[in-house]
Amino acid sequence: MSLIKQLWIAIAMVMAIAFGGSMIVSVLSARHYLEQQLQVKNIDNATALALSLSQLPKDPVMVELQVAAQFDAGHYRFIRIVSPTGKTLVERIGVSKLLGAPEWFVALFPIRTSPGQALIQDGWIQYGTLTLASQDIYAYQSLWDGTIELLLWFVLGGAATGVVGTLLMRSITRPLNDVVGQAQAIAERRFLSIPEPRTPELKSVARAMNEMVGRLKTMFNEEAARLEALRQKVNRDAVTGLSGREYFLSHLREALQGDQFGSSGTLVMVRLPDLNELNTRLGRQQADALLKDVGTELYNSGNGRVGQRAGRIKGAEFAIVCPTFETAAAAARDIHEKLTQTVLSKWSDQVPDLFHISAVRYHHEQNMGELLAHADEALAQAASKGPNSWHAVEDKLTKAALPAEQWRTLLTEAVAGGRLALSFYPVISNDGASALHQEGVLRLQVDAQGTLLTAGDFMPMAAQLNLTAPIDLGVVKLAIEHLRTSAGDIAVNLSAETIGDFHFRNELTQLLKAYPEICKRLLFEVPEYGVFRQFEAFRELARNLKQLGCRVGVEYFGQRFADSDKLADLGLDYIKVHPSYIRGISDNPGNQEFLKGLCKVAHAIGITVVALGVQSKDDLPLLASLGFDGATGPGIK
């Protein structure tokens, strides 16, 4: 059956059902109303006429004249007066003829009303009983006229709907568009399933494509689950679930050398009694349970704090990178309170001297060995203070934190005064022969001397003050201006907070529509934690940007690989793998296997894979053999 015929049949069925239901409800409601009105009229007229006759002399001629006058003045089926003995004294019967309503309609919707009755008195004696019934032919005529009018409206509405629907169906066939849209989505690396249409010509095609999409999703999910298990095995401590030593140190090295976070932060160390002593005192299983409790609490301490990561360094020694705390004391106090409230309260009877905590400030480009040595010295200071104590060492070079209002003024003036700038870093191909694009990294000039802050220094405060949207919009404008005067492609980063801003997405769309040619050379990337925190907003943003011709990617990918199956239908163009997997890759066979599988899965759905944090071009051949398409980092110039 053709789509046009299906449309007309559907419209006819809908209109018939709607008309039938509306007609029944309307006619029954109107009939009930008319019955009530006729009943009231019968009672009122009978009462009024009986009262009038009660006041008149009971001369038969006078009574008959009064009844005849009432009968001729109104519309009655009959008026009858019966004596107490049952004798009919006066009777008038009208002749009624239906005025337009057909007999079948009258039979289908009968109007049932009781005649009105009243007593006629002759002084203190009952003269007779008056009974009258009003004419109902006008009620039937009203019901019939209303039904015809309702039918005409439904016929006109159905015809208009059918005509409009036919015209729309000829230009836009929904099932066919679904199939075409699904094919286009697959071409854009978005794997969507569609409902199977009833049209035989399209049903088999849609079913086959849905099966193909299902197989691709299953394959992706299975491979993602395998890789997640491998990642956990390689980079996670089996007892505590925290990051293993090498993986944690790689994350710490990124905090010291990378631009993802601020130029300073805090390293917290937690040391429990000697592990051999714990095993002797508690037994192996109890000691492992204690370590797991500590690990769980340290892991949970990073909830809501971007970049905070805990790891097991050795035996009963743990470390936490805290890039968001302004002072070492604040970080140490936070960890101390969490361990005291949960772990110490549970284990104090068995291990009263449970832990010591140290916290030291770090700064960008600091030597990691020197930092760890300072943390060990601070741990010795904490141990000297007694059981379950902490010691913090502040960085004397760290500047005092600015109040929030000063930050607000600084950031607002920077956006308005043009003090935002982009520093460009190359992203090269895996053979090092060509550039894939330039990465525009945000910088903020804070004074007349040209002092620049990295995004990690001021964007967390901008997020707290809800100022990321104007800053990100300013970044896009800077990128567009650069592209208008230079060749190549540019990638810019959008904040996690910004992508959830509906007004920003509208402003960005309107801005990009004015530069359709530049959109083809403009890439947008969002940090992985921001993607999953605002996933639906990112999905909409990615769809809008790709419709404009831009490319979309995820930066610092791999920290939440267990959720990566959600990315399969976004149509991503590229991902940039987190530096913690890349640094020291030549000495980490486990990560090599993980990254090789990651590249294989990404390539299967057409996603380009770029390595972040590459320290030397000497790593490019290894990265290329693992499947990476490009690389960027300190070693790429």
Cβ(143)–Cβ(30) below 8 Å: yes
Give the separation between CA 66 and CA 81, rounded to whole angstroms: 12
Cβ(117)–Cβ(129) below 8 Å: yes
Give the separation between CA 299 and CA 281, rounded to whole angstroms: 26
Residue 113 sits at φ, ψ, to 5 deg, of -135, 150
Q: What is the largest CA-CA distance in the chain?
A: 132
Q: Where are the beta strands (DSSP E) in 164-285?
A: 264-271
Half-sphere exposure of 226 (CA within 13 A, CB side): 14
The amino acid at 256:
L
The amino acid at 348:
S
Cβ(633)–Cβ(582) below 8 Å: yes
The domain spans of the chain are: 3-168, 175-192+199-234, 239-393, 404-631
What are 443-499's pLDDT values in tens digits? 888 777 777 888 877 887 888 888 889 999 999 999 999 999 898 999 999 988 888
Q: Is 59 exposed, middle or buried (0-12, 13-18, 19+ CB in 10 A)?
A: exposed
Highest mean pLDDT among 192-201, 512-521, 530-539 belongs to 512-521
Give the separation between CA 142 and CA 381, rounded to whole angstroms: 99
Domain 239-393 top-level CATH class? alpha beta
The amino acid at 83:
S
Give the separation between CA 24 and CA 273, rounded to whole angstroms: 84
Q: Is 51 exposed, middle or buried (0-12, 13-18, 19+ CB in 10 A)?
A: middle
Eight-class DSSP state of 612 = -
Give the separation between CA 622 and CA 585, rounded to whole angstroms: 9
pLDDT band at 170 (very low <50, low <70, confident <90, very high): low
C-beta neighbour count of 394 within 10 angstroms: 13
Eight-class DSSP state of 343 = I
pTM across the whole model:
0.65
What pLDDT score was predicted for residue 359? 93
C-beta neighbour count of 67 within 10 angstroms: 22
What are 521-571's pLDDT values in tens digits? 999 999 888 888 888 889 899 989 988 999 999 998 887 766 666 777 778
How much is the average pLDDT of 211-240? Answer: 79
pLDDT band at 97 (very low <50, low <70, confident <90, very high): low
Residue 570, token pair as written in the block: 């976004």
Percent of the chain at pLDDT exceeding 90: 21
CATH architecture of 404-631: Alpha-Beta Barrel (3.20)
Give the separation between CA 328 and CA 309, rounded to whole angstroms: 16
Give the separation between CA 317 and CA 382, rounded to whole angstroms: 14
